[in-house]
């Protein structure tokens, strides 16, 4: 039973920069659960799909984009979604591209992460408790969820390009948005963008895209046994191209609105089917039960108050 009651909200969407609401959904209500880690970035919008299926939407930086990446209350965000019954999270993010072939406007489904945050963000639900846990994070995104998304996102992008060709004339609307898969995301602290030297270094390390938001969100989703995937949209080429200017916020803003529009279209198209896949369960098999052997089993030493706190995200092990 979820803390907010039986909402049957299985899918949560986290919107990033430029993505502060979803399209074509009927507003049901706002919920703002106070979790043991505080309140989420903004009240969560519960909305319903045409079939009546409910999904939860949360704006990562708040609806007015007032929360900087380092200050996003990621633990409260993930815990609040879990408390609604959410089992899979689609997180959207505006990213810089570290590769020529990933052009602004393109979509990316990363499968790996390099952590360049600076330890200032609380990154575990177990921090400051008497319980020690080591979540497996070799594959930081839900492997089944990402592969489920691949074909569907590609199809929506192809349909979107066809629609634009029809309405504006073939080739007039510019380059078609491509989908890139199996890529590595670098997560930096920010809020300033990278230097040219850092940007080159991330490329040498194997980074393909860069943002300031995927961590600790993805780690916390894993600790809460949620399946989590990042749908990244490229806004700029960061700062690695020798004869081009380095990234500025103004450059990011140029593509942000169009990327967000297509992201909303992707979400509106796939959410119904995703809800069904999550309800059926096969898509979640890696996450469910994954924390069972990650928690160091000295339960007599675990403080009751900590067990109570952790029961909010992992009732199976701590209630």
Ligand X SMILES: Nc1ncnc2[nH]cnc12
47 binds, among ligand X, ligand LNRAV4D5, none (CB under 5 to 8 A by kind): none
Out of ligand X, ligand LNRAV4D5, none, which partner does residue 60 contact, by CB within 5 to 8 A per kind?
Answer: ligand LNRAV4D5
Per-residue mark of binding to ligand X, 172-191 (x: CB under 6 A): ----------------x---
Q: Is 252 in the site for ligand X (CB under 6 A)?
A: yes
HSE, side-chain direction, 13 A CA sphere, residue 158:
6
Q: For ligand LNRAV4D5, which is the closer residue by CB, 144 or 217?
A: 217
CB of 94 to ligand LNRAV4D5, least distance (A): 4
d(CA 207, CA 224): 26
Q: Which of 35, 83, 117, 213 binds ligand LNRAV4D5 (CB under 6 A)?
A: 213
Give least dist CB 233 to ligand LNRAV4D5, A: 8
Q: Which of ligand X, ligand LNRAV4D5, none does residue 16 bind (CB under 5 to 8 Å by kind)?
A: ligand LNRAV4D5
Q: Per-residue x/- marks for ligand LNRAV4D5, 237-276, CB under 6 A?
A: ------------x--x------------------------
For residue 77, state whether it binds ligand LNRAV4D5 (rule: CB under 6 A).
no
Site residues for ligand X, window 199-218 (CB under 6 A)? Answer: 210-212
CA-based nearest residue to 39, from 67, 12, 9, 77: 77
* Residue 306 is among the residues annotated as catalytic for this protein: no
* Residue 92 or 193 having the CB closest to ligand X: 193
**Is 236 in the active site?**
yes
Query: Per CB under 6 A, does 93 bind ligand LNRAV4D5?
Result: yes
Instruction: Decide which of ligand LNRAV4D5, ligand X, none touches 236; Cβ closer than 5 to 8 Å per partner kind.
Output: ligand X
- Terminal-to-terminal C-alpha distance of the chain: 12
Q: Does residue 17 belong to the site contacting ligand LNRAV4D5 (CB under 6 A)?
A: yes
Q: Which residues of 289-308 are buried (b: 16+ CB within 10 A; e: fewer)?
A: ebbeebbeeeeeebeeebbe
Task: Give the binding range for ligand X (CB under 6 A) out of 109-117, 136-144, 230-238, 310-318.
Answer: 230-238
Q: Is residue 22 at the binding interface for ligand LNRAV4D5, with CB under 6 A as the rule?
A: no
Q: Give the footprint of ligand X on residues 93-122 (CB under 6 A).
A: 94-96
Closer by beta carbon to ligand X, 83 or else 117: 117
Nearer to ligand X, 73 or 96 (CB): 96
Asked whether position 149 contacts ligand X by CB under 6 A, the answer is: no
Cβ contact 146:109 at 8 Å: yes
Three-state secondary structure of the chain: CCCCCCCCCCEEEEECCCCCCCCCCEEEEEECCCECCECCCCCEEEEECCCCCEEEEEECCCCCCCCCHHHCCHHHHHHHHHHCCCCEEEEEEEEEECCCCCCCCCEEEEEEEEEECCCCCCCCCCCCCCCCECCCCCCCCCHHHHHHHHHHHHHHHHHHHHHHHHHHCCCCCCCCCCEEEEEEEEEECCCCCCCHHHHHHHHHHCCCEEECCHHHHHHHHHHCCCEEEEEEEEEECCCCCCCCCCCCHHHHHHHHHHHHHHHHHHHHHHHHHHHHHHHHCHHHCCCCCCCCCCECCCHHHCCHHHHHHHHCCCHHHHC
**Interaction site with ligand X (CB under 6 A):** 94-96, 188, 193, 210-212, 235-236, 238, 247, 252
């Amino acid at each position: 039973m979820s803390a907010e009651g039986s909402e049957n909200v299985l899918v949560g969407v986290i919107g990033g920069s430029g993505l502060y609401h979803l399209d074509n959904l009927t507003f049901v209500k706002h919920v703002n659960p106070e979790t043991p880690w505080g309140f989420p970035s903004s009240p969560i919008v519960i909305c319903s799909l045409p079939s009546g299926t409910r999904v939860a939407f949360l704006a990562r930086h708040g609806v007015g984009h007032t929360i900087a990446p380092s200050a996003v209350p990621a633990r409260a965000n993930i815990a609040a979604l879990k408390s609604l019954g959410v089992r899979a999270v689609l997180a959207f993010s505006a990213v810089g591209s570290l590769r020529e072939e990933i052009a602004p406007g393109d979509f990316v489904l990363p499968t790996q992460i390099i952590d360049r945050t600076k330890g200032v963000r609380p990154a575990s639900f177990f921090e400051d408790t008497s319980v020690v846990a080591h979540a497996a994070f070799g594959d930081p995104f839900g492997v089944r969820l990402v592969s489920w998304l691949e074909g569907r996102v590609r199809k929506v992008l192809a349909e979107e390009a066809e629609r634009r060709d029809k309405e504006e004339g073939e080739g007039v609307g510019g380059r078609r948005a491509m989908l890139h898969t199996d890529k590595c995301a670098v997560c930096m602290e920010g809020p300033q963008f990278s230097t040219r030297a850092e940007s080159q270094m991330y490329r040498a390390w194997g980074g393909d895209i860069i943002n300031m938001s995927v961590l600790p969100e993805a780690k916390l989703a894993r600790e809460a046994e949620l399946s989590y995937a990042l749908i990244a949209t490229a806004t700029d080429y960061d700062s690695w191209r020798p004869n081009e200017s380095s990234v500025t916020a103004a450059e990011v803003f140029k593509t942000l609105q169009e990327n967000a529009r297509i992201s909303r279209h992707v979400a509106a198209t796939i959410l119904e089917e995703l809800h069904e896949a999550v309800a059926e369960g096969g898509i979640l098999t890696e996450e469910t039960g994954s924390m069972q052997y990650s928690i160091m089993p000295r339960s007599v030493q675990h403080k009751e108050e900590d067990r109570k706190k952790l029961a909010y995200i992992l009732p199976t092990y701590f209630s």
